[in-house]
Amino acid sequence: MTSLDPPAATDARGDRRAWRNVIVLVLAQAILGAQLSIHLIVGGLAGVVLAPSPLLATLPVSVMVFSSMTTAPWLSPLMQRRGRVTGFVIGSLAGAAGGLLAAYAVWAGSFALLLAALYLVGIYQSAQGFYRFAATDAASDGFKPKAISYVLAGGLLSAFVGPAIVKATTGGAAGALEFVPTYVGAGLLSLVGLVLFPLLDLPRAAPKAAGAPAGRTRGQLLRDPAIVVAIVCAMVSYALMTLVMTSTPLAVVGCGFATATAADVVQWHVIAMFGPSFFTGHLIARFGTTAIVSAGLGLLAAAGAVALSGVELWNFYAALVLLGLGWNFGFIGATTMLTRSHAPEERGTVQGLNDALVFGLVTVASLSSGGLMGAAPEVVAGWSAVNLAMVPFLALAGGSLVWLAVRGRRAA
């Protein structure tokens, strides 16, 4: 099976159960997911105040992503054994604890506690990453790309909720203390999951029968060209989005704009990330995963070009909107490619492996983002360095797609 295979026809009658799950997961993505934009907006700004060095300003966001990387390898097999709801509830509780601990950390002025809090939030982020896979568990092959798109479209509402909470809760105190109510709000959002997740109607995790197919090992999976290319494209799409977006609040504020303006820029970025999800699945069904992922990489390149062309406010808005669109096409396309490249018994292994590798590169991107900004002599130079760093990774992902397409033609 390759990513070049046409999608199977949708079985509309069999997808009623999948539709119910999609609705629940859309709500979870919209409400609980709003906390991630909150942490991405204020994490670097709180870090600037609390960190012992400007080079470590984005470390809280990096720790959150690192936590997601280290959580995925054990959370995915756990959900394969105990069910998705178990993993989602664990993530919800971790997100609530992390938000409240972050509030205490900035009140106490402790950078170490802030890092611990963001590690807990990262467990939630890892669990949220599996919403898109859960949407496909009861879906037909034809409905899978649409299910993934619809669930990610729930992030569109989070694009309004998260920044609105930031703007409503900041500005009332000096220094990092202004973020105390912001972090409390982020923590409380996670508790909504305790009401939503029991409504899911997902296939039960069945005990493994004697003689049942064991599936391929991690090494064997990583020798499958379609799986490798899907993971590479997902890694690059997510990492480059994180690389640029993590630095955005620092660049916007550093160029003389207000924190509220930075929140507005990030809001439109998140809208661009999730808004196209209403039709991305339909585009994949019509044009195929390879074409949509290629379009996503092209949009990411365009985002870098716009960011390098200047630091006026319109440059920030345009670059971040293009960045969001590129992430949407690249990440949803790569996720769909992955779901078509493995057997059901390999789900826990391959999905956990995928998210561990994705968030591994995202962690590097987040750390590099702060390092590039902090090491530069001034803000504009740091912002340029961040965007230039996209080039080799775009070449890697684009080259892998070309290789897969050529290989598929030769096999045909």
For the chain, which residues make up each domain, given as ranges? 13-203+219-411
Mean pLDDT of the chain: 85
List Cβ neighbours of 388 (8 Å cut-off, separation of 6 or more).
Answer: 304, 308
pLDDT score of 163: 81
Using alpha carbons, select from 45, 42, 55 the residue that is nearest to residue 376. Answer: 55
Q: What is the DSSP string of 85-112?
A: HHHHHHHHHHHHHHHHHHHHHHHHT-HH
User: Taking 60 as the threshold, does the pLDDT of residue 170 lie above it?
Assistant: yes
What pLDDT is stored for residue 1 in this prediction?
Answer: 36
**84 three-class SS:** helix
Q: Are 113 and 17 in contact (CB under 8 A)?
A: no
Say what the pTM is: 0.74
Fold of 13-203+219-411: Growth Hormone; Chain: A; (1.20.1250)
111-129 and 34-50 are packed helices; what angle lies between their axes, rounded to 10 degrees? 160
CA-to-CA distance for 94 and 90, rounded, in angstroms?
6
pLDDT beyond 90 at 384: yes
Instruction: Report pLDDT digits (tens) over 126-158.
Output: 999 889 888 888 777 778 888 888 887 887 788
Give burial (CB, 10 Å; 0-12/13-18/19+) of 132.
Answer: buried
CA distance 220 to 297: 27
Joined together, the tokens standing for residue 303 give 């985002």
Q: Is 140 helix (H, G, I), strand (E, B) or coil?
A: coil
Indicate whether 12 pLDDT > 80: no
pLDDT tens figures, 44-57:
788 888 888 877 87
How many of the other CB atoms lie within 10 Å of CB of 116?
16
Instruction: Indicate the DSSP class of residue 210.
Output: T
User: What residues contact residue 52 under an 8 Å CB cut-off, 6+ apart?
Assistant: 111
pLDDT of residue 4: 37
DSSP letter assigned to residue 135: T
Residue 141 is given by DSSP the state T
